[in-house]
A and B are shown apart, each in its own frame.
Chain A
């Protein structure tokens, strides 16, 4: 019996019960649809976050205090005050880290901000003008503060577009005075809408000189971060080593495991984000795969009913010369066709759902959510559904092929 004829026979068998066949594959359709959808959304989320991380620029290096946690009981934030003016000065010396073009200490805090009667809580970033270059946000109205203003501890602020919207509404914000933690700041610039840049929500932030932030807002003597701009992308690895060496020397550290600071490049962060989102996607897809098992059991169930119903047909086919293998092939093929059909419908639905989701997410997030479908997801969908067909179709097919022809012909 040729493959083509086995296929034809199986298709005829399924056609005889069209609506039942359609209902049977529903479980598989839902399973494959959700897997494709989840994989597409996971990929989209990853792309989105990675784009934000890349927004920092490939020559950016981030220095943070503390060290990476070495275990569950290890507090990574053990040395949160390890970055102070002394460190900034040392890094600024060209002889220590010649690859550094510029750097800015960062003071990050969240506090209440008031304008007249409007009060709201925002993220305050204390930085030097370099931050505008790194984050690539220049005021749409007014201007950014200067290095002189930083040295003079000027009480000036550049506000994000959402901050402007929430505090001032449609009225003029430029040159108005706002109260940040009871200290009066003058608004000298308003940033355009930008969205997330490397974990920073620029639109909801107020940027002030770091000196002012340190003295009047955080009240501490250490920085939360130092952002470094390297002279070029190529020099980044060398510069990272130079920074580490400088800080270790300053802190008398000989064992790199005892570092009280962390140095990360834009690439490191992108890698970390990539791992997290991939793990999440796989986890969710695995949950969706459970529905495939349920769908497979549904197929097995219906195939068993079908085998019982068609006992006489099986007996007749055997009497007419069908071998055990012929019967096995026929019923196994029916299961595989069912699941493959389910997989195909699921793939089409999954792709269209992902497309619709990407449109909705683009609208909702205000950022460009990319619609991505990987060939792997499609191949995985087809492969898994065929596999489910074989696994759950084998038992009913074996039951069918084992029937003795006389028992089967006698069956009423």
Chain B
């Protein structure tokens, strides 16, 4: 069974008199463990799609089954619970809490979970280790470089062992060296079994994925598997 099953998904924004169709009939499935990149120029609807897939927004029409259950059947509290337990988010602008340590930032999702507090530090340290920032545990986020910040955000995304991780332009604010580090970690997470949905407009980054979905004007233009998948730091630095 697919983890994500989208059928004829539509999203319309009403701003005053004008209706904007951000998504008009998108359908695809993502099986568990797959690494999918969603590409498209700005305004193509890729962010809207990610928001709906990530339970941050709801569709206007069509169906979206996550883990076998239709999104519209989830209550607001259940939506928050799914976001907390089954999903991890990585944003282009990191979205870390300022004036707060790396450890505290990574622990943030646990605050809203049912995980007993005695386990919080252990889990957080393990996640920080996975992104290779063990030497920075007690640093404030403002003391970190961009790449390090994004790795903190990744540690935060994976602390609750989510089924799926959504990455919205994770390398968009990074230099190519840091970008390749981040992509390497995301690839590693996929190898560990996490499903990944990556939004990007760089073909280069997208080629880390197994499959690329291209959107244009709210519709799927292409949906194909990647033939020469990029591995590790291979060629990133050119």
Contact = CB atoms under 8 A, between A and B. Distances in A.
Nearest to B57: A406
Interface string B112-130: 1100010000000000000
B179 to A, nearest CB: 21
**Prevailing SS type, chain A contact patch:** helix
Interface in A229-260: none
Interface stretch (B82-90, B137-145, B207-215): B82-90
A320 B2 CA distance: 23
Contact of B113 (A12, A316, A321, A324): A321
A5 B107 CA distance: 12
Contact of B112 (A16, A320, A404, A405): A320
A325 B156 CA distance: 22
B97 A323 contact: no
Nearest to B81: A321
B62 to A, nearest CB: 18
A307 B221 CA distance: 40
A9 B112 CA distance: 11
B95 interface: yes
Query: Which of A5, A12, A320, A325 has the most B CB atoms < 10 Å from its CB?
Result: A320
Interface in B21-43: none
Contacts of B85: 321
A404 B13 CA distance: 14
A406 B56 contact: yes
Contacts of A132: none
Contact of B109 (A12, A312, A321, A409): A321
Interface string B64-76: 0000000000001
Given A320-B83, A323-B76, A406 B112 contact: no
Contacts of B133: none
A320 B57 contact: no
B108 interface: yes
B141 to A, nearest CB: 12
Interface residues of A, number: 24
A5 B111 contact: yes
B20 interface: no
Contacts of B160: 321
Interface string A311-322: 011011111111
A324 B76 contact: yes
Interface residues of B, number: 26
A284 B74 CA distance: 55
A409 B91 contact: yes
Contacts of A321: 80-81, 83-85, 109, 112-113, 160
Contacts of B54: 319
Nearest to B48: A406
B18 interface: no
A1 interface: yes
A226 to B, nearest CB: 79
B229 interface: no
A196 interface: no
Contacts of B231: none
A320 B109 contact: yes
Nearest to A6: B111
Interface in B92-110: 95, 97-100, 108-109
A316 B83 CA distance: 11
Nearest to B109: A320
Contact of B56 (A2, A5, A405): A405
Contacts of A322: 80, 84, 111-112
Query: Which of A316, A321, A322 has the most B CB atoms < 10 Å from its CB?
Result: A321
A80 interface: no
Given A316-B95, A409-B91, A323 B80 contact: yes
B77 interface: yes
Interface string B177-200: 000000000000000000000000
Contact of B57 (A1, A2, A325, A404): A404
A1 B57 CA distance: 23
A326 interface: yes
A316 B98 CA distance: 12
B216 interface: no
A323 B111 contact: no
B230 interface: no
A33 B22 CA distance: 57
B201 interface: no
B163 interface: no
Contacts of A2: 117
Nearest to A13: B97
A320 B156 contact: yes
A406 B166 CA distance: 14
B51 interface: yes
A186 B191 CA distance: 117
Contacts of B98: 16
Nearest to A412: B93
A5 B76 CA distance: 22
A321 B51 CA distance: 14
Interface of B: 51, 54, 56-57, 76-77, 80-81, 83-85, 89, 91, 95, 97-100, 108-109, 111-113, 117, 156, 160
Given A16-B99, A409-B91, 12 more contacts: A2-B117, A316-B97, A318-B80, A319-B54, A320-B83, A320-B89, A320-B156, A321-B81, A323-B77, A324-B80, A409-B56, A409-B95
Interface of A: 1-2, 5, 9, 12, 16, 312-313, 315-326, 404-406, 409
The 4 residue pairs across chains A and B that have the minimum distance between CB atoms: A321-B84, A321-B112, A323-B80, A320-B109
